[in-house]
Chain A
């Protein structure tokens, strides 16, 4: 009997949790590489899930007890204003990703050929600190007048490289949560200087964007699963990228129409210069992949794009998209 047949025989027992542990592992390893067995396993598991029936209601109060215990085990995304929920969500997702990393995983190179996972979290804390400072929150080390993203990152990296990664994680999360909470108290409309001046709304979207992109850097570096933002969080990021793109295009009387497909997508007209002209090219691409391209995590040749109209203009536009990065 070959291994496929041996595993197929076990599928019923596996679906009922009636295999000894060693055979359970054998089955699960096989299911990853055998679509036929995986399909049968899904069917049998669904049938097994119904055997118990549903006859009893969980005791009263169990939902409240669960939520209280859940907050102790893993802090949820911090409550904040609507425009900052994407940031709060990406912070929670990244915290979930890094909270149990092993020491050697913190030391893995994750971005730009030199920054480790630990460095990337310190970099995120550094730039978040510029937002926190603008909101009047205490920031360590204090932000010096006129300090830009690069100088701020250098200052924070010097400090954080001397601290355990877990302390960096806690400081980063505490500062992010403080920013989210500070927004709830209704700050005056203000401009936040990151790589360039942003409205507070755009600054928070930019922070969500960079937190997501570096989260994916860390996931890839540590072999963890990559999960794209929720559509309602992705859309403002795509919109921010679309609005910023004219800054990196060679100015001339031209425009393209950009269709970003999938949940969270939309359609934008991107002008190369302020004078409005009719778009000479249309491009359609997946919204998640396009956002990765704008974050310089994809090469224009790597993503699937449907082009209609002036192909040369479309290619010029695509080549410029990654120069938008780094997201501030």
Chain B
């Protein structure tokens, strides 16, 4: 995809997100159904990756969408995409749940991100854009140095704060912060490159 086409696509996505938000504001039930249709797999996957528990992931997913229905104004299109916002809500709720219950059992202890399905659940079928994004990310992750990959795995998938990441890896806190930022920057660049080729 050309860069100009990419920016055009982003503007279109932002307009779609804003309209979806405005339909939720005026109590349009079909907008909630559309939102669920578009993003439920993403939200459920994020929740499942963190909680490692199907029913808990479903609860998190439902609460995320209910929160948007009850407070659609909280989404500000100028600050980012609906996709990123829902992911953030799902991740925060899932991490809170795990921390509260302290029932977290990792099957993948080496800190590398696992790309496979992690628990009972229906694999998503041939959802082209999601599959493309996942493939770009998988490729980008393979390019990440191990020390960066491990840092974001601990933070994002295991729900640790950067201070806990620093303690876990025996690093100064400043270094842990830098690694998390650098890892995401590289992933962001890889995503852009994937979109513009």
State the A residues within 8 Å of B (CB).
9-13, 15-20, 31, 38, 41-60, 62-63, 65-67, 69-71, 73-77, 88-90, 92-93, 95-96, 224-225, 227-230, 233
Q: Is the CB of B187 within 8 A of A42?
A: no
- A sample of 17 inter-chain contacts (CB < 8 A) reads A9-B181, A13-B161, A13-B176, A41-B80, A42-B84, A44-B185, A51-B113, A51-B157, A53-B134, A53-B137, A55-B116, A56-B45, A57-B125, A62-B58, A74-B27, A230-B23, A233-B26
Residues of B within 8 A of A47 (CB): 184-185, 187-188, 191
Q: Does B97 reach chain A (CB closer than 8 Å)?
A: no
Distance (whole angstroms) from the CB of A42 to the closest CB of chain B? 5
Q: Which residues of B contact A9 (CB under 8 A)?
A: 174, 177-178, 181
Given known contacts A19-B161, A45-B88, A48-B87, A56 and B80 CB-to-CB distance under 8 angstroms: no
CB pair A56 B122 closer than 8 Å: yes
Instruction: Find chain A residues with CB under 8 A from B174 CB.
Output: 9
Q: Smallest Cβ distance from B197 to chain A, in angstroms?
A: 17
A10, A42, A62, A71: which contacts B61 (Cβ < 8 A)?
A: A62
Residue pairs across A and B with CB atoms within 8 Å: the count is: 227
Q: Is B91 an interface residue (CB 8 A)?
A: yes
Indicate whether A57 sits within 8 Å of B41 (C-beta atoms), given known contacts A45-B88, A48-B84, A75-B27.
Answer: yes
- A233 neighbours in B (Cβ, 8 Å): 26
Distance, CA A66 to CA B62, complexed state (A): 6
A62 touching B36 by the CB < 8 A rule? yes
Pick the contact of B134 from A10, A54, A71 — CB < 8 Å? A54
> Residue B56 at the A interface, CB < 8 A?
no
Within the complex, what minimum Cβ distance (angstroms) separates B135 from chain A? 9
Supplied contacts A16-B155, A56-B44, 7 more A-B pairs, CB within 8 Å: A15-B180, A54-B124, A54-B127, A56-B122, A59-B54, A66-B66, A96-B72
Nearest-Cβ distance from residue A37 to partner chain B, whole angstroms: 11
Give the residue name and chain of the A residue nearest to B10 (CB): A46
Most-contacted residue by chain B among A55, A73, A225, A233 (CB, 10 A):
A55
Q: Which of B26, B81, B130, B160 has the most CB of A within 10 A?
A: B26
**Candidates B79, B124, B177, B178; contact of A55 at CB < 8 Å:** B124
Chain A residues with CB below 8 A from B179, complex form: 12
A16 to B84, CA, bound (A): 11
Given known A53-B115, A69-B66, contact A76–B29 (CB-CB < 8 A): yes
Take A17-B156, A55-B116, A227-B22 as given contacts and tell me if A96 and B27 are in contact as well, using a CB distance cutoff of 8 Å: yes
Inter-subunit contact A17/B88 (CB<8 Å): yes
* Contact for B92 among A13, A17, A41, A90, CB less than 8 A: A17
Report Cα–Cα, A230/B131, bound state, in Å.
33
Q: A45-B84, A70-B69, A89-B27 are in contact. Are A56 and B156 (CB under 8 A)?
A: no
For B138-172 the 0/1 string (1 means CB < 8 A from A) is 10000000000000100111011111010000000
Looking at A59, A62, A69, the one whose CB has the most chain B CB atoms below 10 A away is: A59
Which A residues are CB-close (under 8 A) to B26?
A: 77, 89-90, 92-93, 229-230, 233
Cα-based distance from A56 to B134 in the complex (angstroms): 12
Q: Give Cα A60 to B37, complex, Å.
A: 12
By the criterion CB–CB under 8 Å, are A49 and B188 in contact?
A: no
Take A20-B163, A45-B84, A51-B156 as given contacts and tell me if A70 and B58 are in contact as well, using a CB distance cutoff of 8 Å.
Answer: no
With known contacts A66-B32, A73-B70, A93-B26, A49–B45 Cβ distance under 8 A: no
Considering the chains assembled together, what is the distance between the CA atoms of A85 and B15 in angstroms?
22
Query: In the docked arrangement, what's the CA distance between A56 and B79, Å?
Result: 27
Whether the Cβ atoms of A44 and B32 lie closer than 8 Å is no
* Complex alpha-carbon distance, A259 and B150, angstroms: 58
Top 6 closest pairs, chain A to chain B, by CB: A92-B27, A12-B181, A12-B180, A89-B26, A77-B27, A49-B87
B13-53 CB contact bits vs A (8 Å, 1 = yes)? Answer: 00000010011011111001100110011111110110000
CB-CB < 8 A to B117: which residues of A? 55-56
Contacting residues, chain A, for B193 (C-beta < 8 A): none
With A13-B161, A73-B66 in contact, do A45 and B80 touch (Cβ < 8 Å)? yes
Residues on the B chain within 8 Å of A31, using CB: 79
> Inside 8 A of A73's CB, which chain B residues have their CB?
66, 69-70
Q: Which residues of B contact A69 (CB under 8 A)?
A: 62, 66
Q: Give complex CA distance A58, B58 in Å.
A: 7
Question: From residue A196, how far is it (CB to closest CB) to chain B in Å?
Answer: 27
- Known A-B contacts A44-B181, A55-B45; A76 and B187 likewise in contact (beta carbons under 8 Å): no
